[in-house]
Amino acid sequence: MNFISVVSELIDKPQDFISRTKAGRLGGAGFLGYGLGIFSLFVFLRLFSVVPPGIYSFANVFLFVLAVNFFLAGSMHLFLQMTGAEGDALKLFLLFGLTELFWVVLIPLGFLAKLDYLPPALDCILCLAFILVARIALARRLYSISRGKAFLALSLPYAVVIAGFFMAFMYFMVYLVWLVK
């Protein structure tokens, strides 16, 4: 099954596709999704000179996004397992890879941003919102859960990371005040 067939089937019959497709069969498509998505993100970042050029720079971004997704898929699966839902963690991770394809929209949006029609940050937020919605849609089918629970499971790791960041930030500010006082 080629990549376009996988994506078109996922778009047309997501429930059917997720139920009957084995994780092994999704592997190539999932990783190609990661590859294309992260490559688009990298090109977008290069357009705005946020990251340096070169294969090592791309590898950095690629591995970072892969690691984040691995963490998100793992923690989401763990949370869902703990609350009684059953599903396949590997399949979830690979489906996340397919949702990464939404980053390809960043390229045309990047041109618009270059022409000052859109702020670059808004482009990223837009794509991220699409990705999150797609992930909720896929996760609720994979684990047979409600949309609300899928949203909760997906947002929980984000919430933990953001809360951790703000706690660290607040502590750092207090520490700085203590230092200069």
Which two structure tokens, joined as six digits, stand for 70?
A: 């691995």
Report the nearest approach of other proteins to the CB of residue 163 (Å). 26
Select 124 or 145, whichever has its Cβ closest to other proteins.
145
Select 146 or 166, whichever has its Cβ closest to other proteins.
146
Select 66 or 140, whichever has its Cβ closest to other proteins.
140
Cβ-contact 87, 77 below 8 angstroms: yes
Cβ-contact 99, 32 below 8 angstroms: no
One-letter amino acid for residue 156 of the chain: L
Compute the half-sphere exposure of residue 115: CA atoms within 13 Å on the CB side of its CA.
6
- Residues that bind other proteins in the complex, under the rule CB under 8 A: 4-5, 7-9, 11-13, 15-16, 19-20, 40, 43, 46-47, 49, 53, 84-88, 104, 107-108, 110-111, 114, 140-141, 143-149, 178-180
One-letter amino acid for residue 108 of the chain: P
Report the nearest approach of other proteins to the CB of residue 40 (Å). 8
